[in-house]
Chains A and B, each alone.
Chain A
């Protein structure tokens, strides 16, 4: 029992996002009961094309870009103690480069891979730009990234010469956004899984997590312990750049076109939300990647549920706002304090009397 308790304590920040996810699932269950059919949860294998479809699949598929961005955003938030609001704009730039290379060359996998690499490089440069402003010029992340936010989509427009080019229907790159032949599972879902695995491996086999958190919690102390805060912050922005490129590539492949104005519009806000819903502090420091990933799916599930309820796309934002408020209020420190007081009253816990006060993080009495 105590092992379960330690696991719960260690992952206590995942409670909010998991509850949120659960609540949405429950809500849909109830809704299905009320309307009398469970088609919302149905996963079908379409007859002639043999691919999986259904709402659940859509949620998993549509959240792909968001989940990948949320992973990168978590690192940046942790180390730089702020948010990167330029990811949508950078994705537009990366997407534009991607499309430009694709359309200028024959349609084969070699070109596609080069195009992906190129868009990665471009996005990493954008990330480095932000990173340099933040780490060397000590500018607040939100302010620093405001520049690319303002300028990014226009640069994307300029890259494509003022056009919104489309990709031919038979171009193999569309498999990236859709389905590889013979594979029932949408490709974006694979990409997310691979991305997540890479992140987990990197976090496990390097000190990325420890260094990032140390820099975010106390940069001076990290410096005195031999960590290079500038390199770390820059690194997190560059990693986010890779995520941005992936997101841009997936979205372009899905839509088969690039429209600099609308591609991934507002995704930065959703990514930041995902990080927050995941229980991570937007002020930097400790983080749990899984929280942000769950947060991304929470947001997508919410949006999808609203559409399933026939809410008009323009109105979705309003309902989303209400749910978001509920979630973050639940996770707010004040509410947490009250609920934990309630909890300990109901289940009297005995703690080892070794150290001082609950609320104060300063030592001693």
Chain B
């Protein structure tokens, strides 16, 4: 018998989709956190620049997280993105500092490297059916290794044109803060703009294009997607390709922000942060569920936590990761509880912690 469907005229509300539910939770938590920070610590949090700096400083991470969200929705994973970012940064620095260096050229290099990684990894995962974790793990090794092969030492960009680009700021005159030297308007870096454009583009692609919807379908159920006439292999391939491309863009954005490359320390753990951002944003590792706006807020949430830790005076170096971890833990548990309540496999909690939802007959009558 049908459940959950409005039949005879009763105008019941249908249950909200998983995606929307998790997204709502993430956004609420982020704003709650930020408002709380503003109330408790005031100071920096009340300055608009602090908020804008969330985008300025983490533009590359936002872009990486977008790429990772795409791949995770398709049911895969890509842990090479941090390495690719570092590699792109280093290669561009070397190129820009060389005699033939040009901004356009460096952009091409960045995109090219990203696409190359995405291409090879996509081929291996989609067409040779190799586990994405292993493939992208190898990709990460390769990228990190190549970074030092390209140039052992840290290097800074010396090319003037690029430095100008790096220092370019969009000023919002009416938003700003009063300080000793006068009114300082809020400044947006180029990288932040790129990040927002990327988020918008990915949002459009995931919501309104055939490829985007196919990615959701493939992540939801591989077999079904095949039967529905979707080219599963090609879709997975494109997901990885896209993620690689975004990693290339992220690398360039990173360079725009830092202006230098450090083979030992660039984008360390970036892939894990990107995965964490996606999860906090409501992406399920099992695939089929996820959305870009959530991921954006996921990244912002993570970085806000970092700011809160710094502001609250917890100086010891271990506090940052511990709070990161705690936040992650909170969201992961939240996701699990929320999904359990919707009957996606109840929690096996002991009797005194009972959240169990009744299983419908249909679920057992497969």
Bitwise interface map of A from 153 to 166 toward B, beta carbon under 8 Å scored 1, else 0? 11101100010000
> Do residues A155 and B318 form an inter-chain contact, with CB atoms below 8 A?
yes
- Cβ-based interface call for A329 (8 A): yes
> Do residues B276 and A329 form an inter-chain contact, with CB atoms below 8 A?
no
Whole-angstrom CA separation of A170 from B76 in the bound complex: 50
Q: How far is the CB of B344 from chain A (nearest CB, A)?
A: 9
- In this complex, what residue of B is CB-closest to A281? B131
Contacts of B130 in A (CB 8 A): 328-329, 332
Segment from A20-28, A35-43, A308-316, A339-347 that makes contact with B: A308-316
- In this complex, what residue of B is CB-closest to A316? B145
Contacts of B289 in A (CB 8 A): none
In the complex, which of the residues A272, A315, A328, A332 contacts B149, with contact meaning CB atoms closer than 8 Å?
A: A315
> Do residues B141 and A318 form an inter-chain contact, with CB atoms below 8 A?
yes
- Cβ-based interface call for A221 (8 A): no
Most buried by A among B124, B148, B337: B148
> Do residues B348 and A136 form an inter-chain contact, with CB atoms below 8 A?
yes
Contacts of A147 in B (CB 8 A): 325, 328-329, 332
Contacts of A332 in B (CB 8 A): 124, 128-130
Bitwise interface map of B from 113 to 141 toward A, beta carbon under 8 Å scored 1, else 0? 00000000000100111110111011111
For chain B, residues 249 to 302, give those with C-beta under 8 angstroms from any C-beta of chain A. Answer: 263, 272, 275-276, 279, 285-286
- In this complex, what residue of A is CB-closest to B148? A314
* Count class of interface residues, chain B: 35 or more
Q: How far is the CB of A139 from chain B (nearest CB, A)?
A: 5
> Do residues B134 and A139 form an inter-chain contact, with CB atoms below 8 A?
no
In the complex, which of the residues B145, B148, B272, B336 contacts A138, with contact meaning CB atoms closer than 8 Å?
A: B336
Contacts of A329 in B (CB 8 A): 124, 128, 130
Contacts of A282 in B (CB 8 A): 131, 133-134
Contacts of A319 in B (CB 8 A): 145
In the complex, which of the residues B134, B148, B317, B335 contacts A312, with contact meaning CB atoms closer than 8 Å?
A: B148
For chain B, residues 56 to 103, give those with C-beta under 8 angstroms from any C-beta of chain A. Answer: 77
Contacts of A333 in B (CB 8 A): 129
In the complex, which of the residues B148, B316, B336 contacts A137, with contact meaning CB atoms closer than 8 Å?
A: B336
Most buried by B among A137, A144, A321: A321
> Do residues A148 and B325 form an inter-chain contact, with CB atoms below 8 A?
yes
Extra contacts besides A133-B332, A136-B349, A324-B134 (20): CB < 8 Å: A138-B347, A142-B285, A143-B275, A144-B332, A151-B324, A151-B325, A154-B317, A154-B318, A155-B318, A157-B318, A158-B318, A162-B316, A273-B137, A282-B131, A312-B148, A316-B145, A318-B145, A318-B146, A328-B138, A329-B124
Residues in chain A within 8 A of chain B (CB atoms): 83, 133, 135-140, 142-144, 146-151, 153-155, 157-158, 162, 230, 269, 272-273, 276, 282-283, 312, 314-322, 324-325, 328-329, 332-335
What are some 8 contacts across the A-B interface (CB < 8 A)?
Answer: A138-B345, A147-B332, A151-B324, A272-B133, A314-B152, A318-B142, A320-B138, A324-B138
3 tightest A-B contacts by CB? A318-B145, A151-B325, A154-B318
